[in-house]
Amino acid sequence: MKKDLIDITDLTTEEIDGLITVAEDIIANPDKYREICKYKKIATLFYEPSTRTRFSFESAMLDLGGSVIGFSSPTDCSVAKGESVADTARTTACFADIIAMRHFKDGSAFVAASNVDIPVINAGDGGHNHPTQTLTDLLTIHKEKGTFENLTVGLCGDLKYGRTVHSLIAAMARYKGIRFILISPEELKIPEAVKTEVLEANSIPYEELTSLEEAMPKLDVLYMTRIQRERFSDPSVYDKLLGIYILDNKKLESAKKDMCILHPLPRVNEIDVEVDDDPRAAYFRQVRYGKFIRMALIMKLLENAPNAEGPYIEGAEEFPPDVKKCKNPRCITSIEQGIKQQFIKTDSGYRCIYCDTKA
């Protein structure tokens, strides 16, 4: 059966552990993997800018012996003429064996995956999910700390719109002895749903702080994030928050000697360049690990392809009582023609199947 990766929770803990094991073997024995994907093609469909994610997918496929097609901007292809996500995906599936797609709308990768019989990897859908960044973060933590258990993980910055933060919490909450310290200004606090449905539902200890200095001595991992200009509708709020957390050598004086510092990158100013020479700064090693985990993922998904079924949400309803359309203006349903508004009933009410927003 075809497998896509839309959300990190599409992978079981065993599957994540398996990908980490394969990625570590690729690092140790790259020659074993040089021809695994000979004659296979990946299509990288990037509607939003990217450096790391696109390069690492393309580099991953090339290092597996395959090849690459795609676009790095929607202005470079027929999207500029108004082609829908569904039609772009269907067209791409005529030429490629697997798709990696980044799009500015929540739920867009799900729409692509629903319309093709080849695996689709979500390379970032708006402020919703970025599961391969999470896999990259997990491999980095495993390489740096040797374990996922009994770690205190500090997440700092934009915890509201930061898709990498939400996915990392969902993934790490599965391991024993994990504790989170959530460091953000009031305006960018972690969404209530992440607290109640992931942290509290799994009895994961966490505290919310506004001070990075207060959190620092307790941390085994510090995950810094960028305040994302592109997610703010009011630029004055962005201007007010920019620069609120800047990690520098002074702040690191109270950190553990073996703490590791991660950042999905790109950074703006939240990590001073003076920190780059500190051995605890793992964020450029993290970029490198991104290629190896994506090699492992491409191999895993191609093992299962092809199949004529897209992702399927059991129990999805087209028009549940009193629900007409998704309320999230960033949802793919707000721009894509011809897709059904569908909702799934959960303990806390109906949710959009594309972007998870409550109805």
Given the rule CB under 6 A, which residues bind ligand CP? 50-53, 124, 133, 264-266
Nearest approach, Cβ of residue 124 and ligand CP (Å): 6
Check: CB of residue 222 under 8 Å from CB of residue 182: no
CA gap 88, 80 in Å, rounded: 11
| Exposure b/e, 344-357, CB count within 10 A at least 16 = b | beeeeebbbbbbbb
Instruction: Report the residue number, 41 or 102, with the smaller CB distance to ligand CP.
Output: 102
Nearest approach, Cβ of residue 164 and ligand CP (Å): 7
Taking Cα atoms as reference points, which of 356, 24, 21, 14 lies closest to residue 193?
Answer: 356
Instruction: Report the residue number, 51 or 348, with the smaller CB distance to ligand CP.
Output: 51
Nearest approach, Cβ of residue 343 and ligand CP (Å): 29
Check: CB of residue 63 under 8 Å from CB of residue 29: no
- Both tokens of 344, joined, read 């799934």
Nearest approach, Cβ of residue 157 and ligand CP (Å): 13
Instruction: Report the residue number, 112 or 359, with the smaller CB distance to ligand CP.
Output: 112
CA gap 122, 241 in Å, rounded: 29
Nearest approach, Cβ of residue 73 and ligand CP (Å): 13
Up-side HSE of residue 119: CA atoms within 13 Å toward CB? 22
Instruction: Report the residue number, 56 or 333, with the smaller CB distance to ligand CP.
Output: 56
Collapsing DSSP states into helix, strand and coil, what is residue 336?
coil
Nearest approach, Cβ of residue 35 and ligand CP (Å): 27
Instruction: Report the residue number, 143 or 163, with the smaller CB distance to ligand CP.
Output: 163
CB atoms within 10 A of CB 258: 10
Check: CB of residue 200 under 8 Å from CB of residue 225: no
Give the DSSP H/E element, type plus range, for residue 133: helix 131-145
Nearest approach, Cβ of residue 259 and ligand CP (Å): 21
- Both tokens of 77, joined, read 């292809």
Instruction: Report the residue number, 119 or 264, with the smaller CB distance to ligand CP.
Output: 264
Instruction: Report the residue number, 52 or 285, with the smaller CB distance to ligand CP.
Output: 52
Q: Is the peptide bond before 266 cis (omega within 30 degrees of 0)?
A: yes
